[in-house]
Structure 1
């Protein structure tokens, strides 16, 4: 079903002297394609081939797949530096709008569209003018019969943008880039903190330190339980509808509650599936290297359940949940899950018995706390930096939205 698009709001009028164009008028629109994969002469060349899956950066420079010039001219589309590209089909469109600018000559697939900016339009200005309209654009996305997203480009082309002088366009681009440089600097520091965290974890669980620790089966220091099975839900009196966490919510080291679904259960089964603050959640299946990924639940949602593909590990007095999480996510812990995991064509899985049988180190409680303290400190610094980055992005979007709408003007320098 086609989504509704709100009015243009801040983009309904522009200052005197600005040109008013639809996106269809802002440049030359091009469609891409995929050269025949059976023809070896088309692939493994020097030209990056951009697909919806490979477009992950705003500055588009390379791809994991490359084509030859022959391949680009037979089934694909070749565009030059300064071309705006964006995704119009794929799973990513269900949550994000991927757009960027080509930093070199490249080819692209049918899941993308390209726009070569018209005369008097800076390519980065055009890309930012489109990107800032992401909320409206995502409301244009339709779901196909295969469950992927599809962007109606005819509707996208109807969006209007204001075009100031080239000098003002470049000042707006410079303002956006100034935020990006600040954010990139913080990301660099964040990366260093993550390297430091990995080093602390490796040292904390090193053989020299852990050799004297007692090792026991996990089920002797914690209980392991599967969650509610989805399917035919009960109805009527004695049932209750509650939020639950699924595999998509349980990431490596954190719980994502951006989208939490609900399920109806018999009220008397609540205690069996309910989560408590401090429960360690581990995923049952996925890629082999992601088996047993998890995080400690912080209880931010009351009366929350977990799905049967997410194991709940509830620690007893001898084991701190965060210490256990540290071990299960360590190289040794991941190696265990990979060794016992059952591999199928598309994914791997573990069962609750394998989780219970896992041998885990159990140092004294005070030593567990000693190990966790410096690691938690560095994680707190990372969290603070991530909040700072998120705040900068919010400010950036607001400032640039005002600049692109003409509500704020940058002075001449």
Structure 2
């Protein structure tokens, strides 16, 4: 279930007047808007705000919407055919009214409902401004609907030249890279100030705050699409334009009912998400168990007609230039005693790989069945040749290679074949999440850097089988035990080649992969239908 779309649907119903029934006894929104205008005039007289020269208000007449401005001019905004009034000042704006609302509702421009303020950052060179008790909201704090606390606090000296905003102020991020994906909006629950990446929206009647907050959430996609600034280094919202956006206004009593209904719906969705997370965890555990059965030879039945893995290993040795190991004798199931593997002192077979494998399987090292090479080192001073796109470890995900953010590096002609990735090469991250791996499944070739192991198998061995083996080894924390490094772990070439691997017959490798992927596909089909 797509819970994000479900939330959006609820918000969409809310701002169209379709989430809760209308009560004809509610005081209409036109009366509420008049109260807002009175409150605004009061603030103007008290010289707390300035009169807006472009001030306007919207009203309905003859099933049409009109906007009256401070200079007395009027325009029709509901998309009707343009017509003239006595002074000839009426214009029609096709389609500006986005949707129909109930009769007791009204439309307002955002700037008719509130004042707007920006923030700033005190001098970082003055220690007296920092580590105080005043909440200072930045985009990093805008991760929930309600702001009760902030990561950084300022002193009274630090905010002496800054505006302090009361609870029920609406905060919106207007400048941040996060605007590529989402529009953070929140309700301030405690007094706070803000930095320059945010705008504070102070409603003339604070009781409107929660409905107004949900109204902005409902049009998030429209704001990100229609009000983004073009040509800026950092993603930004054109707030001067956003202030003119149309907001539907229900009667106050209906607003309160809508807010309660939205919160109830969102609580149910939160429960669904928690259930989905639990289900996803169960699915992950199930996949891990299926993989565990797969590498023990218990997922599919063995076929006595398959060529034994020991024969496969001998044939590989004839073509594998670096293979030096001998095949293991497992005919008497004594391979635990006869293993020639170099086992690290900090773990034992019983802790990690103490399991039986079928008679026609064998144990091996990676270097027995494949060649492992790291890619080219990026050195802008020493690198020569033409620029080519290349893979970094960040491009290699579990089971997938992401090509969205490819960088380029210089490669000489003689290096192209050395650092070229071919179809069915297994790519393994050397650092970071060491061991994370995927199979290159594309027909076209690409180059790669030294943070990736390129494993090229011999003897038609199926690289997907060993991708899944490493996935299970990661779940079992085996890869972690072979990795080196404190801050950043590294799975070196020598360490990778010390990890014992089960080797099934070729045909069984294919049957295992088909069975595992079929089960996973069926699980996802069931999840999609929930």
Residue 501 (structure 2) pairs with residue 362 (structure 1): yes
Counterpart for residue 327 of structure 1: 473
Mark the runs of 5 or more structure 2 residues left unpaired by the alignment.
1-92, 296-346, 356-361
Q: Encode CA deviations 1:125-177: one digit per residue, 9 max, x unaligned.
A: 222222222233223334676x4222221122222211111233334334433
Does the residue aligned with 2:236 lie in a helix, a strand or coil? strand
For CA contacts below 8 A with separation 6 or more, give which structure has more relative contact order: 1
Alignment of 1:259-270 (within 5 A): 259=404
Alignment of 1:267-346 (within 5 A): 273=420, 276=423, 279-280=426-427, 282=429, 290-292=432-434, 294-296=436-438, 303=444, 305=446, 308=449, 311=452, 313-314=454-455, 316=457, 317=461, 320-328=466-474, 331=477, 333-334=479-480, 337=483, 339=485
Residue 316 (structure 2) pairs with residue 170 (structure 1): no
Q: Encode CA deviations 1:219-257: one digit per residue, 9 max, x unaligned.
A: 55554554999999979xxxxx9x987665545x46586
Structure with higher Rg: it is: 2
Cα distance in 2 between the residues matched to 1:75 and 1:217: 67
Residue 120 to residue 88, structure 1, CA distance change in 2 (3 Å):
closer
Q: CA deviation at 1:30?
A: 1.8
Does the residue aligned with 2:121 lie in a helix, a strand or coil? coil
Alignment of 1:26-45 (within 5 A): 26-45=113-132
Residue 120 to residue 111, structure 1, CA distance change in 2 (3 Å):
closer
Which residue, out of 57, 65, 74, partners 2:152?
Answer: 65
2:393/2:452 contact within 8 Å kept: no
Residue 103 to residue 309, structure 1, CA distance change in 2 (3 Å):
farther
Aligned length: 358
Cα distance in 2 between the residues matched to 1:329 and 1:8: 58
Which residue, out of 83, 107, 113, partners 2:193?
Answer: 107
Cα distance in 2 between the residues matched to 1:305 and 1:123: 53
Normalized per residue, which structure has more strand?
A: 1
Residue 27 to residue 209, structure 1, CA distance change in 2 (3 Å):
same
Which residue, out of 107, 130, 135, partners 2:221?
Answer: 135
2:141/2:147 contact within 8 Å kept: no
1:282/1:310 contact within 8 Å kept: yes
1:273/1:306 contact within 8 Å kept: yes
Q: CA deviation at 1:194?
A: 6.3
2:391/2:449 contact within 8 Å kept: no
Cα distance in 2 between the residues matched to 1:249 and 1:104: 42
Mark the runs of 5 or more structure 1 residues left unpaired by the alignment.
1-6, 236-240, 285-289, 390-413
Q: Encode CA deviations 1:56-108: one digit per residue, 9 max, x unaligned.
A: 2223333332334x156335543233222121112212332222222333332
Residue 53 (structure 2) pairs with residue 53 (structure 1): no
Q: CA deviation at 1:339?
A: 0.7
Superposed CA RMSD in Å reads: 5.2
Q: CA deviation at 1:44?
A: 3.4
Counterpart for residue 352 of structure 2: 210
Q: CA deviation at 1:334?
A: 4.5
TM-score (norm 2): 0.51
Which residue, out of 20, 24, 30, partners 2:111?
Answer: 24
TM-score (norm 1): 0.63
Q: Encode CA deviations 1:292-343: one digit per residue, 9 max, x unaligned.
A: 37353595x7758575477365574485312203434765534655618xx8
56-65 or 160-169, which deviates more: 56-65
